[in-house]
Chains A and B, each alone.
Chain A
């Protein structure tokens, strides 16, 4: 076996500018796709619980169709397929000095559509987990449906939504490698071209694996702290501020066991 350590260490610790731009694209695609997916998730998730049958059906249809199609196919469909069919296509635009190419937009939209279907189910489950008594109490206090959604249902549902949504983001970070098929210069595509130019496929794939590992690892850390923060109501010492939540994490990194929340004392 030959392993080119010099090449490996060079690529790992002294990445070229191209690679750093790739890392930037990977991260921003994941973040924007998550934001889009969360927005879709709220609309479709609430839609699944709508009193209006047609909205319920359309939302169910969205989840069924999107969860049934591989994200790779969605990406090719909305970027190449739509253009080939003569339908309106993504157009490059500029944000200041930064060009936002058409395939980058398609990447965000495609992954957003994909993750939106999963987020819809996560959000629907979160909303349904809110105990009816909480909503009744809010009604009895004279709060309007909008106020109840904003102040009671969504904050309580968020505590149920965050763990699986964080998991979804972890998956999304790795799924960004798929957008290489529509030519977005993210870390996987860049690594592939470096590999094929240098024939150092093994070394380069380990380098890119480590990059993904750092991104997902960093996210796990953030998620653990967020979970401590939102569980203040059930942890022994209320960690009310972000500072306290972070301190709590580093003192005791394991997340406290989730206690069943009941309405009774």
Chain B
């Protein structure tokens, strides 16, 4: 495993009003690594993921993506929030896949694919369409180019959403419970796409309840609970339950 850290989180803390949701998260993700985050709901795992992409703000600590501090700038020892345009630029390195897919429902699948590459990266339409066609083929959605998302199954929508994120050539892909809103029958096809993506060397952070996937595809796994990382290990050791009683209890509750 390459050791260059792509994502570094140092003592990330976040409050919603008085509610302390992240109590000091320390994590590193290296290039090409697949990190799975598991944990009970309310543990802060999705919130942490959303902080990386600045869909949420964190109040303390520092988050680096590719060595660049995210969301803030240090000016004479004080933290100054970045302008929206700076945040927008920083987000481009990161692709995100949501639990609810969030495909643009007023656009066809292909229009979803080419929207950001053309608008944000300034790609010519022909090139964007070519990339779109290739990526849709990769996720097994050839022939669905001119269909509206509402006509697709959950699994198909999520695969299209993965392809849409990949069209921006991100350095890291963030997955926020990508299979939690999908029928069990189609979960597999999404996990297959993610497995293939991991094998291709993509750096991935996956918040998931799919233990089989975490075990098979993840390089490392962490368990979060109550706003803290409670346990962290390479997946080969992680699922050896005898090492951690709390993890054992959580994994049992998932079965």
User: Which residues from chain A sit less than 8 Å from chain B, CB to CB?
Assistant: 131, 133-134, 136-145, 147, 151-152, 155-156, 159, 232-234, 238, 259, 261, 263-265
Contacts and interface: CB of A to CB of B under 8 A. Distances in A.
Given A140-B95, A142-B91, A156 B102 contact: no
Given A133-B98, A140-B95, A233-B150, A155 B106 contact: yes
Interface in B142-164: 146, 148-150, 152-157, 161, 164
Given A137-B161, A238-B108, A265-B181, 19 more contacts: A133-B98, A134-B105, A137-B96, A137-B98, A137-B103, A138-B116, A140-B96, A142-B89, A142-B168, A144-B85, A151-B115, A156-B106, A233-B149, A233-B150, A234-B148, A263-B105, A264-B100, A264-B101, A265-B154
B100 A233 contact: no
Nearest to B119: A147
Given A263-B100, A265-B153, A144 B94 contact: no
A145 B165 CA distance: 18
B232 to A, nearest CB: 26
B233 interface: no
Interface of B: 53-55, 84-85, 88-89, 91-92, 94-96, 98, 100-106, 108, 115-116, 119-120, 146, 148-150, 152-157, 161, 164-165, 168, 181-183
A141 B115 contact: yes
Given A133-B102, A147-B120, A238 B96 contact: no
B152 A261 contact: no
A233 B148 contact: yes
A142 B102 contact: no
Nearest to A145: B84
Contact of B150 (A131, A139, A234): A234
Closest 4 CB pairs of A and B: A265-B154, A137-B102, A141-B116, A263-B100
Contact of B164 (A141, A143, A238, A263): A141
B88 A264 contact: no
A142 B88 contact: yes
A141 B120 contact: yes
A265 B116 contact: no
Given A134-B102, A140-B96, A265 B157 contact: yes
Nearest to B116: A141
B152 to A, nearest CB: 6
29 contacts: A136-B102, A137-B104, A138-B116, A140-B94, A140-B95, A140-B98, A141-B120, A142-B89, A142-B91, A142-B168, A143-B120, A144-B84, A145-B84, A145-B88, A147-B120, A151-B115, A156-B104, A156-B105, A232-B148, A233-B148, A233-B150, A238-B108, A261-B105, A263-B101, A264-B100, A265-B155, A265-B156, A265-B181, A265-B183
Contacts of A136: 55, 98, 102
Contacts of B101: 263-265
A133 B100 contact: yes
Given A143-B88, A143-B119, A263-B100, A233 B105 contact: yes
